[in-house]
Structure 1
Amino acid sequence: MYALKRLLVAIPTVIGVSILVFLMIHLIPGDPAQMMLFPRGTEAEIEQLRQELGLNLPIHVQYWNWVTDAIQLDLGTSVQRGVSVTSEVFGRFPATFELAIAAILIAVIVGVPLGVIAAQKRNSWIDYTCITISLMGVSIPVFWLGLMLIFIFAATLGVLPVSGRMPTGASIESVTGLYLIDTLIRGDLGLFWQTIRHLFLPALSLASVPLALVVRVTRSSMIEVLSEDYVRTAKAKGTPYRLVVFKHALRNALIPVITVVGLQVGRLMGGAILTETVFSWPGMGRLLVSSIHARDYPLIQGTVLIFAILFIITNIVVDLLYAYIDPRVKYE
């Protein structure tokens, strides 16, 4: 029942987002058709494009036509590329998804243990080190960190590749669009390792902000939970301290961590724009940047809409995880 309610609440949100995305090109000064064909477009070509995109229709009619097509997964045709926006966006989605999931895994695998250790060693040099790492993570711009990682590991040490998803000249018959899974399906461990090497630097760069947030939230949540009565009771009963921390305390401390992680997954899908540009990663973020440079408004609209919907879906999934993680959370 709760899942149904959350889906119903998400509907007006999606409608509002679609309106904002649609109005985006109409808020830009000038004629969108003229901007898209600038500087080579003739008057006849501009008028033809205006008719093809329906820009000569009333704005409410334009929105209705666009949103009804979008419901049928028809986001129009790219002006510059001449291909379906839907196929172009979803063709790039696996690369962005793979990058975002890798980044969030790094953030969780590294951030949660650091946060737990910092809480246990409160006010020690270990705690201060973790706090410093956290502050650096949220302070350093992602694009600058990406450039520094390229300079250190690719240009200077030469141990990791600088760009792309796979080695130059390598090809794979993709089943899922996720190269790590595809290489495992094929049983090609050599190519699997090369794929990880290409993924590591952009994922590490993208993981800097969520890693810092996970460390901070885990630390503060663990400090609060460790002071609860049931934790003191477990200690008084002689329960091993490690069991108290990881079975009793950590499970309850994970609720705010799950919230942060869930929100960060959605944000990483959009935050990958800078990372994908720096590392030439062929995902949705890089597609959006190239479409902005080309003034390809149908492609911009489609990409931004998909980003927004993915963020909304992620929030719904996070809400549904609450009850599973913490039995105290009950939804009527």
Structure 2
Amino acid sequence: MRIVVRGIAVSFIVATVAFSVLRFAPGDPVLAILGDQASPIAAEEMREKLGLDGNVLTQYVHFLGDAVRGDLGTSITSGTPVVRIIGDSITPTLSLILLTALFALVLSVPLGLRLALAPDGLFSKVFRVVSSFSLATPGFFLGLLALLLFAIRWKVAPIAGFEPTLPGALAYLWLPALVICAQLIPILARVFRSSVLRTLDEEFVEAAIVRGVSRRRFYWHYLVRPSIAPTIALLGYVTGQLLGASVMIEMVFSMPGIGTRLVRAVTTRDYPTVQGILLIFGVLVVLITTLSELSIKRLDPRAGGDR
């Protein structure tokens, strides 16, 4: 229960930050939109449209009330409700994040297990070299390189776009998801490796070996399950980085996601859209982090009670 309450409290803080972006940013957003030569009447109408009329406390109360009702304002450039803009563009972003998280877990767990069981072998040495290269390479360069090889040269992936229905969406998602995983898997695998090494020193592992349990049961119940909690926790905590990476990757792969919408809104000074997307980004991070903590408690009884 405490985890859920903490998530709600953090969501409230996220809403406050999103509210502050427009109000306390340097310069006057109204003049940035209309120009320095705008008439007082036009400026006043724009302030009312942006919700900047009245004192800050009144604006804040109205902002929270509108957000709770699902009203995030109206786009200045298109006149479309921000909620509709987010609804039309959030599917590619959420699909990319979910597939990236799935790939990261499926690939990092066996890698970390292999690294823990053979820490000084050739595989570990090769992994350290490859992971150092992937971590040192900028994500946008990896994306461009992946496009050049897989989409243009080998033609096993589409160059751009997105298909909203399954299984067609997977054709557009697997390559950008792997690009993001290139910098995520080395970190998760190392965390899982360290956790497995600690688990190997537990008495219940020795007892399982003495009892002669099957290999599959030994790996899952005595190594993977007790060791995976820190990896899931880290994956939940880097959700914000996944959202940030998705913004860049969506631009590289020309995906019509919420990250692309955010960049477009920033360049056109569409402040209500920027504010709404930042709020949704923050709430998504809080939601995924809360779900990861609840999953940890279920997977690892040693996590104890509410933290």
Per-residue deviation at 1:292?
Answer: 0.3
Contact 2:23–2:52 (8 Å) recurs in 1: no
How big is each residue's C-alpha offset from its partner over 1:24-45, in whole Å with a ceiling of 9 and x where there is no partner? 1233322211212349x84253
Residue 88 of structure 1: aligned partner: 85
Report the AA paired with residue 282 of structure 2.
A
Alpha-carbon distance in 1 for matches of 2:183, 2:208:
35
Contact 2:239–2:289 (8 Å) recurs in 1: no
300 and 255 in structure 1: CA distance in 2 versus 1, 3 angstrom threshold:
same
Residues 308-327 of structure 1: matches in 2 within 5 Å? 308-327=282-301
Residue 173 of structure 1: aligned partner: none
Q: Which of 125, 130, 136 is matched with 2:127 structurally?
A: 130
Is 301-310 or 211-220 further displaced after alignment? Answer: 211-220
Per-residue deviation at 1:103?
Answer: 1.0
> Which runs of no fewer than 5 residues in structure 1 stay unpaired?
167-177, 181-191
Residue 222 of structure 2: aligned partner: 248
Q: Which of 107, 117, 125 is matched with 2:104 structurally?
A: 107
Q: Which of 19, 28, 43 is matched with 2:25 structurally?
A: 28
What percent of counterpart residues are identical? Answer: 30
Query: Partner of 1:163: helix, strand, or coil?
Result: coil
Is 239-248 or 102-111 further displaced after alignment? Answer: 239-248
Task: After the TM superposition, list the runs of 4 or more consecutive aligned residues in structure 1 that deviate by more than 6 angstroms.
Answer: none
Residue 187 of structure 2: aligned partner: 213
Residue 179 of structure 1: aligned partner: 165
Per-residue deviation at 1:154?
Answer: 1.9
Report the AA paired with residue 54 of structure 1.
G
Per-residue deviation at 1:118?
Answer: 1.2
Per-residue deviation at 1:242?
Answer: 4.8
Residue 118 of structure 1: aligned partner: 115
Contact 1:266–1:314 (8 Å) recurs in 2: no
Q: What value does the CA root-mean-square deviation take over the aligned residues?
A: 2.0
Residue 228 (structure 1) aligned with residue 202 (structure 2): yes
Query: Partner of 2:71: helix, strand, or coil?
Result: coil
**TM value normalised by structure 2:** 0.92
Report the AA paired with residue 216 of structure 1.
R
Residues 29-178 of structure 1: matches in 2 within 5 Å? 29-38=26-35, 42-43=38-39, 44-166=41-163, 178=164
Query: Partner of 1:328: helix, strand, or coil?
Result: helix
Q: Which of 10, 13, 16 is matched with 1:16 structurally?
A: 13
Residue 249 of structure 2: aligned partner: 275
Q: Which of 224, 227, 232 is matched with 1:258 structurally?
A: 232
How big is each residue's C-alpha offset from its partner over 1:138-191, in whole Å with a ceiling of 9 and x where there is no partner? 33221111111111112333332111113xxxxxxxxxxx522xxxxxxxxxxx
225 and 19 in structure 1: CA distance in 2 versus 1, 3 angstrom threshold:
same
Number of aligned residues: 305
Report the AA paired with residue 155 of structure 1.
I
> Which runs of no fewer than 5 residues in structure 2 stay unpaired?
none
Per-residue deviation at 1:202?
Answer: 1.3
Per-residue deviation at 1:264?
Answer: 3.3
